[in-house]
Structure 1
Amino acid sequence: MSAENVAGQIGLVRRNIVRADQSSVQRLSGHGVATVHEAMGRTGLMKSYLRPIYGGAHLCGTAVTVLLHPGDNWMMHVAAEQIRPGDVVVAAVTADCTDGFFGDLLATSFRARGAVGLVIDGGCRDVFDLTAMKFPVFSRAVSAKGTIKATIGSVNVPIICAGALVSPGDVVIGDDDGVVVVPASAVHETAERAASRVANEEEKRKKLAAGVLGLDMYNMRESLTKAGLKYIDD
């Protein structure tokens, strides 16, 4: 998204967004980020610097997007009004900033509205309290530095968060492996492919557990020989 496009989105709050089909969202919630990423042809993955604030954190829901300005979390409060049960708030910042945009008070407000987590390309704080609440947050940084409320951004517009395009209503999944975005239009197909992938991997897992080598299961030996690999018996 260009700087001109971002500028054109400032000062907007879209109230009536179309969210991805909930039955498909539920199906996707049972799969990990790596599986969904592979099912989409290795697309949709956010940059790896986004990390969960506590181990084992998991979220899956429809995106309410927020465009913030550095050091200013005003629009997080505006976004709270647009949250519906099952939503994930996804926040981008117009320039790099790791200030603590989010803490336990906002988490309390978000949860009361039905939010299932937050993904933010910026910082958060109150990690101890957020962990005790089991409110999943995937952030770029942890910082005690507070923010102000002075500049308007936008809610429910397309954003770029940690390198990935996120549109309102897309599905966002996060776990210990990272965060992936599934476009709302591709949710059903991705859920089907993810389920097929899991079934295929289960068969492979059984073979590997029985002692079959990946070299043989994936028919690698001939290709390795052609590539020049040689075994030497001393």
Structure 2
Amino acid sequence: MRSSRVYRIMASALVKLGEPDLAWLAADRAMAVAGGDPLRQATAAIPLGQALRATKRGRLAMGVTIAAAQRIAPAVPHDGPPGELALCGTLLVEAALAAAVCGDAPGVAELFDQAAKAAERVGEGRDQFGPTTVAAARVVAAVELGDGAEAVAWHEKAIGGSGWGRLPVEHRAAHLIDAARAYLQVGDLLRAGRALVDAHRTAPAEIRCRPVACTVLADVHRCGPMPADVARLAALVGLTR
């Protein structure tokens, strides 16, 4: 249904803009208008999980996304149509990220392992799901769990794979912001700043419009002298006025 897609897009945009409560309302509406179709409901559950996670309702986000994944999971694990496997895998990734919000490291590992198996079956480049997107999501989870070293390792794996260049530019930029958070956790300010500059070159709106990007940049700015390109970026977003 077209109206469900509109609500999904609204919800995702509102999460990015730092309005998770409004995003929750839009995502809930997307679920309501999806009707009884399991695939449409599963697709709508993705932004709902994102919105719930952004409001720190991790357990609820896990419940929503895992239930949606189970409803569309193939009878033989990882042996369904590629499109449905990609959707199921995306839901498992969202559930893993929600588990990270709860501090549930074993749950994170188990859910990512399931998502990775689906990703291996699907391959790169289908519905923005594949081994690279799973690796990139592991960065977010590791940062949430406070393991910067693991996050950096997964970041390097994500950008080194063949699927990196196939991701939409806004997804690559968003990932680089997450990588900057990882570098901050391990105290590597130079690489944190470089990741933010690369993100701005890739998709400027991800830096200029997302509150989380400005927060990370402000953290880098506060920690000491910056390279010229990072200082210019800080001035561009208004941190040095």
Query: Structures share a fold, TM > 0.5?
Result: no
**Higher RCO (CA 8 Å, separation ≥ 6 residues):** 1
Structure with more strand by fraction? 1
**Normalising by the residue count of structure 1, what TM-score does the alignment of the two structures yield?**
0.27
**Normalising by the residue count of structure 2, what TM-score does the alignment of the two structures yield?**
0.27
Structure with more helix by fraction? 2
Larger Rg: 1
